[in-house]
Chains A and B, each alone.
Chain A
Amino acid sequence: MNPRDEALGAESSDAALLGRTRAGDAESLTILYRRYREQVYSMAFRITASSDEAMDVVQDVFVGLPEALRSYDGNGPLGAWLRRIATRTALAHQRGDRRRLRRHQRAAEDRGENDPALAVEARLTLERALARMPQELRTVFVLKEMEGYTHGDIAAMLGITQNASQVRLHRARRFLKQRLMDRL
């Protein structure tokens, strides 16, 4: 971050930044990006299980942010609002990508070889299983287990009933159980 950004970022509240970003100010957008990129990327990565797709989602979210902010009413933290948008955008990406399954598997396997942070065998095993999980099950598992959304929130985001969300979560867990058995 350059010194000007740092100065701006340190003294600017989200509210002040939002106004300037809405008006198309690139510096404010840059500060918001640096503040929230981890959250947006993390959500996108978990939903898509692909670093390439997650990058695309992050780009799209921040390219569209100035216009999207017009519908942000300030109720609730900006980070939570952005994570929901990242989720919906990631899901939209998923719907448009028919080759996703192979890419997910490759992404998880590549990370296992290269990322020392994933040295813990159980975690890596779980991540690989998650990458192989059918997308509709993984989305619910990620939103519920990893992001802490309620079944009501998940139902609203995915356009399914709460009961369907619960059923998908149970199926996701059974999927993991069948593949991991005694390995966790």
Chain B
Amino acid sequence: MPDELERFDDALRDLACRPPRTSPAEAARAVAGAIRADRRRWTTRFSALAAAAAVVLALSATLLWQPGRRPEPVAVAGHAASTGLGEGVVLMWLDEETPLYMTFQLPGNGAPGNGATP
């Protein structure tokens, strides 16, 4: 039995030590070529990925970004006249549908609690 295992070991050595079909110099050239091809493949993949990312970014920016809607200029004076704003009342439009009325009074002119000083 040990002889059989020894035969196996010898056969394994013979197999492994058989000279390769490709010479070391040729193999080195082939490996260098494969490395260059590998690098080109990675560069191409990276470029494609970067281009795809740029397209996705541009699309997202286009779809998500909307310029802030500004209310149409309002003819404040005319509007004020039509809504019958009293003296000392200022109307500001926060947007097209949201008016903000502010009332100003001189101290002593108004009722308590209306901005008058005590």
Judge: A and B partners, yes or no: no
- Chain A residues with CB under 8 Å of chain B are none
